[in-house]
Chain A
Amino acid sequence: MLRGVSMDAAAGQVLHISGSNGAGKTTLLRVLAGLLTPELGSVSWQGRPIASNFAAYSAELCYLAHSDALKADFTARENLAHEVGLRRTVTAAEINDALARVGLASCRDLFARVLSAGQRRRLGMARVMLTAATLWILDEPFTNLDHVGVLLLSDVIAGHVDGGGAVIMAAHQPPAIPRHAATCVELA
């Protein structure tokens, strides 16, 4: 599906993967995340192939897929405590702060199954924020978000990049990240 794709992402950089439907954006992101193994070629992190040091790589990576990776029968708070708790110790105050930051403070005790698609996306983004990972790989992060949500998420991404993080995102529209111009990689 993908041939001749080569890219680098540095600290403080936003990489925007674009392409028509079926061009392989999600496949590329899954390869970058280490969920798919390429038939040819390799993915390296800090100069080392991720296959040889996958545990260390995945500890520095956070992946937001099409699905928001939420348990429908967990509340918003429980979802964050569970998913983030897999990676690092997280406090209730941190969870409440993250929920407030993505505009879900009033929904923290609601089950994920009753949240709207946009609210679920915001909750997924709160998870990404809380993992404190260096590299964010985001698949269509603005899907289902309203205008305020898009601005909020763009601001969150800018904050992460300001702090020395890197973001690789697939999106149909060029993202408007405050203070940062995204480097575009077009898939044929």
Chain B
Amino acid sequence: MQTPIAQVMALIYRGDLVLAFRRWEQIAQPVVFLTMVTTLVPLALSPELGELREIAGGVLWIAALLAALLGLEFLYRTDHADGTLEQLLLSGQPLALIALAKTAAHWTASGLPLVLVSPLLAISLGVPADALCVLMISLALGTGILSALGAVGAALTLGLRRGSVLLSLLVLPLAMPALIFGARAVDLAIHGEVARGPLLLLGAMFVLAVTLSPLAVAAALRISQE
């Protein structure tokens, strides 16, 4: 009997997470990058908390987006290299839902750690405790959007030699709206204002990205085999 798709998605999600933890440097690298950038900012600009607070939203968002970008390249590359991608294509299961499970696993391994570590880094930049919740929600949505968009880029650049450069060029411009609204939401929260508007827009982008990207990934993966 063919495995139900929900079971297949759980299998892929669990399997990708196990592999990610066994190659722990892929999880650690984005967190180290984010920590390094936010640590270097006070050294390069000013140690004055008041000044840091003004730029904290933008700094955290830019650093988190670039950090999340680091692991995107590996999303399908190892599957392509070891031949397991062909087996996914030939599994007879809906490829778009398989892509969704892989994107979710990628976000859990690369985006979620950034979200979890962000309050600590935000406090070091003088962000008030009241704004931490907005920061975490916005980063959760933003890294989710980047994972979804990045999955499309990773699938499109799969067979290319210098795919990682092209991947950044493809994904970052598409992530700009998320950066604008995400950083704005954190900025509003830092100044004690209501951040609901930008967060709702970010949520809408997240829904759009998560809904459409698996279909694009499935098409791109099929093309990559040609």
Smallest Cβ-Cβ distance to B89: which chain A residue: A35
Residues of B near A35 (CB, < 8 A) are: 86, 89-90, 225
The answer to the question of B3 belonging to the interface, with a C-beta cut-off of 8 Å to chain A, is yes
Smallest distance from the beta carbon of B217 to chain A beta carbons, Å? Answer: 17
Please tell me if the beta carbons of A58 and B3 are within 8 angstroms of each other in the complex: no
Q: Which of A37, A55, A73 contacts B92 (CB 8 A)?
A: A55
Residues of B near A55 (CB, < 8 A) are: 92-93
Smallest distance from the beta carbon of B34 to chain A beta carbons, Å? Answer: 25
Please tell me if the beta carbons of B2 and A67 are within 8 angstroms of each other in the complex: no
The answer to the question of A70 belonging to the interface, with a C-beta cut-off of 8 Å to chain B, is yes
The 8 A CB mask of A80-97 against B (1 = contact, 0 = none) is 001101111100000000
The 8 A CB mask of A42-84 against B (1 = contact, 0 = none) is 0000000000000110110111011111111110001000110
Smallest Cβ-Cβ distance to A85: which chain B residue: B11
The 8 A CB mask of B85-96 against A (1 = contact, 0 = none) is 011111111000
Residues of B near A166 (CB, < 8 A) are: none
Smallest distance from the beta carbon of B4 to chain A beta carbons, Å? Answer: 9
With A86-B87, A88-B3 in contact, is A69–B92 under 8 Å at CB?
A: no
Rounded to whole angstroms, the CA-CA distance of A83 and B22 in the bound complex is 18
The 8 A CB mask of B119-163 against A (1 = contact, 0 = none) is 000000000000000000000000000000000000000000000
Smallest Cβ-Cβ distance to A82: which chain B residue: B15
Interface SS majority for chain A: loop
The answer to the question of B220 belonging to the interface, with a C-beta cut-off of 8 Å to chain A, is no
Residues of A near B173 (CB, < 8 A) are: none
Please tell me if the beta carbons of A73 and B23 are within 8 angstroms of each other in the complex: yes
Rounded to whole angstroms, the CA-CA distance of A67 and B226 in the bound complex is 17
With A58-B92, A73-B22 in contact, is A67–B3 under 8 Å at CB?
A: no
Smallest distance from the beta carbon of B158 to chain A beta carbons, Å? Answer: 14
Q: Could you tell me which residues of chain A, from 162 to 185, have a CB within 8 Å of some CB in chain B?
A: none
Please tell me if the beta carbons of A71 and B84 are within 8 angstroms of each other in the complex: yes
The answer to the question of A10 belonging to the interface, with a C-beta cut-off of 8 Å to chain B, is no
Q: Contact size class for A? A: 20 to 34
Q: Which of B11, B19, B87, B93 contacts A74 (CB 8 A)?
A: B19
Please tell me if the beta carbons of A88 and B82 are within 8 angstroms of each other in the complex: no
Q: Could you tell me which residues of chain B, from 7 to 58, have a CB within 8 Å of some CB in chain A?
A: 7-8, 11-12, 15, 18-19, 22-23
Smallest Cβ-Cβ distance to B83: which chain A residue: A67
Please tell me if the beta carbons of B87 and A89 are within 8 angstroms of each other in the complex: no
Please tell me if the beta carbons of A87 and B91 are within 8 angstroms of each other in the complex: yes
Residues of B near A74 (CB, < 8 A) are: 15, 18-19
Rounded to whole angstroms, the CA-CA distance of A184 and B53 in the bound complex is 74
Smallest distance from the beta carbon of A57 to chain B beta carbons, Å? Answer: 8
The answer to the question of A153 belonging to the interface, with a C-beta cut-off of 8 Å to chain B, is no
The 8 A CB mask of A24-39 against B (1 = contact, 0 = none) is 0000001001111100
Q: Which of B81, B88, B226 contacts A36 (CB 8 A)?
A: B226
Please tell me if the beta carbons of A63 and B86 are within 8 angstroms of each other in the complex: yes
Rounded to whole angstroms, the CA-CA distance of A85 and B3 in the bound complex is 7
Rounded to whole angstroms, the CA-CA distance of A89 and B4 in the bound complex is 9
Rounded to whole angstroms, the CA-CA distance of A69 and B89 in the bound complex is 12
Apart from A58-B90, A59-B92, list 5 A-B contacts with CB within 8 A: A58-B91, A63-B87, A67-B83, A70-B84, A78-B15
Residues in A lying within 8 Å of B, measured CB to CB: 30, 33-37, 55-56, 58-59, 61-63, 65-74, 78, 82-83, 85-89
Residues in B lying within 8 Å of A, measured CB to CB: 1-3, 7-8, 11-12, 15, 18-19, 22-23, 81-84, 86-93, 225-226
Could you list some 6 contacts between A and B, CB below 8 A?
A36-B225, A59-B2, A69-B82, A86-B93, A88-B1, A89-B1
Across chains A and B, which 3 residue pairs bring their CB atoms closest together, nearest first? Answer: A67-B83, A59-B92, A69-B83
